[in-house]
Amino acid sequence: MARILLLSNGHGEDQSGALLAQELQQKGHSVQALPLAGLGSPYRNAGVRLLGRSHEFSTGGIGYTSLRGRLTEIVQGQVLYLLRRLIRLIRYRHHFDLILVVGDVIPVIAAWLSHRPVATYLVAYSSHYEGTLHLPWPCATLLKSRRFKALYSRDQRTAEDLSRQLQRPVTFLGNPFMDSVLTAALPPPTSTARIALLPGSRRPELEQNLQLLLLLIELLPRTVHCNVDLALVPSLDDDNLQRLSERCGWHLESGVLKREGARAINVCRGSFSAVLQHSDLVIGMAGTAIEQAVGLAKPVLQVPGQGPQFTAAFAEAQRRLLGPTVFCAPGESGSREALKATAELAMALLDRARRDPGLQQQCQVEGKRRLGEAGGGPRMAAAICALLP
């Protein structure tokens, strides 16, 4: 039985890390996690022990944020927090036979500093962004080191690109975060169109995003009959949701958000996979959740917000990553004009999603091309086990 430490740096990375940890535990290995940003809640929920206490910051951790978000990270002490996490890693490094990185350059550097054998799942990088992936310094140099025993990418195009750049094998085995939604039981078809709302998971940005989505729903014409389902994380409980909705002219009643003259919104907690599976159109302001929607062959409509994470720049990068089945209306983020254009585009996409075989086929092709098939978690865990003594 080997001792493995997961290093990850973000909520989506923690989700993938927790899924891999569960697969490795089922194979008899001892697994702990050291989330470098955020609370590491996915690890806790999966029953994976954390190495030390974790802390959450308002930006969700060091990563792809706006300038304001990066300044906030510094003010809130996230850089010092990261340094303390690195010191803990160095202190306990000899307790582990393998370091498993899930993320980007930050955990790559941390793993290299540990002087332990490393396997790396580069979930944060893709050649779909630019055509040729430009890894940030010193990521490429470190990944060529003999300490890194195996490299796994998030798509086949990236695997081929990095294999050429690094002059070593980089393998695409699938994405563990897709397994839970791709293997879920398919719901029976319904005659009623459904829209899924994904406001994200990080607070307080979650509240800002949700207010924009409520404004958007008010603009949807009532002449089109459809159900709207809001996938909400448990951290925004009913009391907080009630206060937020009242500020926007809505009220919460028996799990349904209501406003006179607007269509009702079903509040769904703990049923994220079902919300995605039932949806015909996904309207989102999220990262990993949008990727999961694309992997399920759902058309996605973005609503860029004020950040620090889901800004117009982040949304544009996400469209390059996930391809032509992710749409965004023109206009300044959060403006009335942009919301009106988004509402019009939402109705057009909802109709196409149910009636246009061409769009449906395109969603299927792009989903497999960008995210891969189900079973990424078990395949990656088996490959990691093969590295162990």
Percentage of residues of the chain with pLDDT beyond 90: 78
pLDDT at 104: 93
Confidence of residue 73 (pLDDT cuts 50, 70, 90): very low
Closest CA to 36 of 123, 144, 122, 111: 111
195-216: per-residue pLDDT in tens? 999 999 877 889 999 999 999 9
In the block, residue with structure tokens 């997961």: 6
pTM of the model: 0.89
Phi, psi values for residue 111, rounded to 5°: -65, -40
**Is the pLDDT assigned to residue 58 strictly greater than 80?**
no
pLDDT at 158: 98
306-355: per-residue pLDDT in tens? 888 899 999 999 999 999 999 999 999 989 999 999 999 999 999 999 99
More confident residue, 281 or 80: 281
Q: What average pLDDT does the chain have?
A: 91
Q: What is the fold, at CATH topology level, of the domain defined by 3-179+374-387?
A: Rossmann fold (3.40.50)
For residues 181 and 375, the answer to whether their CB atoms sit within 8 Å is no
Architecture category of domain 184-371 in CATH: 3-Layer(aba) Sandwich (3.40)
pLDDT at 185: 67
Confidence of residue 68 (pLDDT cuts 50, 70, 90): low
Tokens of 117: 């054998």
211-232: per-residue pLDDT in tens? 999 999 999 998 888 999 999 9
3-179+374-387 and 184-371 share one CATH topology?
yes
pLDDT at 186: 65
- The shares of helix, strand and coil residues in the chain, as percent rounded to the nearest 5, are 45, 15, 40
**Is the pLDDT assigned to residue 259 strictly greater than 70?**
yes
**Is the pLDDT assigned to residue 296 strictly greater than 60?**
yes
Domains in the chain: boundaries: 3-179+374-387, 184-371
Q: What is the mean pLDDT of residues 9-24?
A: 92
